[in-house]
Amino acid sequence: MLSKNAQKLAEVRERTAEILEDLTISQKIALKALEECDSKSFEQVKVPLKKISERLEGIDNLILSIFALYTPEAKDLREMVAFLKITSSLQRIATNEKNYIKNMEICNPNSTEDVKKIIQLSLGINKCTITALEYAIDMIKETEDQDRIQELAAKISVEYSKTDDIYSMIEKDILQVMHKNHELDEHQTDMLKYIRKNLKIIDRLEDVAGRLIFARVGGKL
């Protein structure tokens, strides 16, 4: 039977994984809405993000109660410190998702073909982000196998590199068109700004992965 401390720590992991799962669901709904350029579906994207701030605060309070009521061993203490940092990253990811969805409501049946083309090119970033979110969930659930944890972290880094390449390609294409037309297209520069906001999500997932390595393996936070 698990000790009270171990039970509470398992609850921290479970509740954190649940939030990552809801962030993943939100990303999947957004991907489908953008693929179809269906503005009506954007409201559904926000549903999994409801009350995430309150839920993350609840996790923080649970961790603080473990500090106050129990005597965690060094390994557990390291994990709790890491999860306090992780909840902060997840709050920022949720904010990035909300802002990205709000901005991408520009995608609708009346959008220009240029806007639709840029959005379709950018969806590779969404797909990489979904994959990285799923890897992060697996990292939280893996508590023993250090090699597996580091392997999953490396996979998140690979997905991040892919998104960087996709963005660079989109940016290059847009700049070449602007140069050819000898004019600055504000709609296209806005699109680049919105896509960069989406990139921040997977960037923060790398932070989450680093903190999970600290929790399970050790090293610097």
Mean pLDDT of the residues in the chain:
88
Q: Mean pLDDT across the stretch 94-117?
A: 82
* Confidence at residue 71, expressed as pLDDT on a 0 to 100 scale: 75
Give the lowest-confidence range in 40-49, 107-116, 126-135.
107-116
* Confidence at residue 1, expressed as pLDDT on a 0 to 100 scale: 47
Residue 108 has pLDDT above 80, yes or no: no
* Confidence at residue 185, expressed as pLDDT on a 0 to 100 scale: 66
More confident residue, 137 or 197: 137
- The crossing angle, in degrees rounded to 10, of helices 52-69 and 4-36 is 160
Q: Mean pLDDT across the stretch 62-90?
A: 89
* Confidence at residue 182, expressed as pLDDT on a 0 to 100 scale: 67
- Evaluate whether 31 touches 131 at the Cβ level (below 8 Å): no
Q: How far apart are CA 128 and CA 37, in angstroms?
A: 19
Q: How far apart are CA 120 and CA 157, in angstroms?
A: 23
* Confidence at residue 175, expressed as pLDDT on a 0 to 100 scale: 82
Host H or E run for residue 58: helix 52-69
Angle at 139 between CA 91 and CA 7, to 5 degrees: 80
Question: 221 falls in which pLDDT band (50, 70, 90)?
Answer: low
Question: 123 falls in which pLDDT band (50, 70, 90)?
Answer: very high
Q: Mean pLDDT across the stretch 64-77?
A: 83
* Confidence at residue 219, expressed as pLDDT on a 0 to 100 scale: 78
Residue 35 DSSP one-character state? H
Residue 117 has pLDDT above 50, yes or no: yes
pLDDT digits (tens, 9 = 90+) for 132-152: 999 999 999 999 899 999 999
The two three-digit tokens of residue 146, written as one number: 């250090």
**Percent of the chain clearing pLDDT 90 (strictly above):** 53
pLDDT digits (tens, 9 = 90+) for 1-36: 457 778 889 999 999 999 999 999 999 999 998 888
- Please name which of 63, 177, 69, 78 lies closest in space to residue 118, comparing C-alpha atoms: 177
Q: Mean pLDDT across the stretch 82-102?
A: 93
- Please name which of 47, 85, 84, 63 lies closest in space to residue 207, comparing C-alpha atoms: 85
* Confidence at residue 146, expressed as pLDDT on a 0 to 100 scale: 93
